[in-house]
A and B are shown apart, each in its own frame.
Chain A
Amino acid sequence: MEHESDRVLEGKILHEESYPRLQEREVLIDNAFKMDHIDGKYVREVKMSSKMQESDHLQMLFYLYQLELRGVQKRGLISYTKEKKTVEVILDNDERAKVKRAIAQAYRVIEQAKPPVVKKLPYCKSCAYFGFCYVREADEYAT
């Protein structure tokens, strides 16, 4: 569904153009999730801007946690191209609890028969699912 969102596409092109030194790109683990890159003791992600730091952080925690479950200990680095900064993410006890909670919550949503009611959020506008969440037909048509 997110294939053609311009933003996702922008993200894809970004991967090909920035950080050319990171040789091995897009690591797919168990056919389940994809990381931009693993570099020594770091998992790395490249983002366009730091607008969504919360969710970027959680995404990284998810990778680190999944790797840990497979017996691999790593730290995370998220690079923001626009701001030219990099932040480190470490999976400690608090963070582990946080990511487990988030996963449980995601399952609760997935297992619902219907999608939850749309809640207007500031980042909906740049979300790849915007079209799905907000499309409707007006009730009456003036013909």
Chain B
Amino acid sequence: MLRDHYVFSNGRLNRKHNTIYYTDDQQKQTPLPVEKIRNLHVFGEVDLNTKLLNYVSQFDICLHIYNYYGFYAGTYYPREKTSVSGFLIIKQAEHYSDRHRRVYLASRFLEGGVHHMLRNLRRHKVENEESMYLIQKEYNKSQEALDIQTLMGHEGVIRKHYYQAFAQMLKQDFSFERREKRPPRDPLNALFSFGNTLMYRTVLSEIYRTTLNPTISYLHEPSTKRFSLSLDIAEIFKPLVVDQVILSLINRKTITKKHFDVLDHEICFLNDEGKKRFIRAWEDRLETTVKHRQLKRNTSYRYLVRLECYKLIKHLLGDDVYKPLKAWW
């Protein structure tokens, strides 16, 4: 089984013979099982050299770098994989430049997201009835949108209702006024930022293992972010994975206010212990399996992301019509 590996402390990563070693401040060396790593996430301040990067490329490992506050800085990708498909890229672009086809895909991503938002709110059905109704109504309206701007407008309204109701479900005092993207100013926003970053990386590393081109997207504008397709697909999974992790971390008091630090009275971020607790819950969630109705086999949440890429490929090839995942369990 391949897994993600996280480095938190400061130290040094290097290749010695055919192994990667992590050496921490105290000169303690830990070997990392290179054949088993899918992604290496570096949060601490770590020294490394090109010999290591070359080695990591051979094993198709992506190296993601985050700054001290847990914000994503960049990725070192292994050499361009050989399995690119020119044909598929053309199809991807066609579906982008044809307005109707683009809106179709964009609203399918929204559909999946909304389904999972409602699914989360349903846990507290009585309190959330009003919000659920408003979200459903707004979603229905969005289905008549003929362009992306209009669709995004509806999405904004949905999100507002959703976050309001979401905050009501928290058992600790983690209130937030509105969802602020960056920099996060309160703990709840910090959790969303951190979780969403992990989600984008996860989706991207699954896209990377298919022949899809991650820069051509539908709901998000391809020009604004380099790997905007991962933002598109993440829309479906954020409420299903990130928000559920956050809900359970807060409501089980695994994460409390003491797991946050504030920089300059402005930026709120998870401290090391907070990040570790988050990532532990995150990894558990992604490895959790459900029995897939169509495949009839146990499928992890992480593999569900890959399957979403496959369904998109089939849609682009005209082999099947894309429908988003809607958790049925």
Q: Interface on A for B, CB 8 Å cutoff? A: 1, 3-4, 6, 9, 12-13, 113-115, 130-132, 134-138, 141-143
Contacts and interface: CB of A to CB of B under 8 A. Distances in A.
A134 B310 CA distance: 10
Given A131-B310, A137-B323, A141-B326, A1 B83 contact: yes
A115 B60 CA distance: 27
B115, B294, B303, most chain A CB atoms within 10 A: B294
Given A4-B209, A113-B317, A114-B317, A135 B310 contact: yes
Interface of B: 1-2, 35, 38, 60, 83, 115, 209-211, 292-295, 303, 306-307, 310-311, 313-314, 317-320, 323-326, 328
The prevalent SS among residues of A at the interface is loop
Contacts of A137: 294, 311, 323-326
A12 B83 CA distance: 19
Contacts of A134: 294-295
Given A4-B209, A131-B295, A138 B328 contact: yes
Nearest to B210: A1
Nearest to A12: B35
B209 A1 contact: yes
A48 to B, nearest CB: 18
B294 A141 contact: no
B45 to A, nearest CB: 31
B311 A135 contact: yes
Given A131-B306, A138-B294, 12 more contacts: A3-B209, A4-B209, A13-B35, A115-B314, A131-B303, A134-B295, A135-B310, A136-B323, A137-B294, A137-B326, A138-B293, A141-B326
The 4 closest A-B pairs by CB, nearest first: A137-B323, A135-B307, A132-B310, A114-B319
30 contacts: A1-B83, A1-B210, A1-B211, A3-B209, A4-B2, A4-B38, A9-B2, A13-B35, A113-B317, A114-B319, A130-B295, A131-B295, A131-B306, A131-B310, A132-B313, A134-B294, A134-B295, A135-B292, A135-B294, A135-B295, A135-B311, A136-B294, A136-B311, A136-B323, A137-B294, A137-B311, A137-B323, A138-B293, A141-B326, A141-B328
A9, A113, A132, A137, most chain B CB atoms within 10 A: A137
A1 B295 CA distance: 17
Contacts of B306: 131
Contact of A115 (B303, B307, B319): B319
A138 B83 CA distance: 30
A115 B310 CA distance: 12
Contacts of B303: 131
B307 A131 contact: yes
Nearest to B209: A3
B326 A115 contact: no
A57 to B, nearest CB: 25
A142 B310 CA distance: 24
Contacts of B60: 3
A113 B318 contact: yes
Contacts of B326: 137, 141, 143
Nearest to B303: A131
Contacts of A115: 314, 317, 319
Contacts of B324: 137
A13 B2 CA distance: 13
A137 B310 CA distance: 12
Contacts of A143: 115, 326
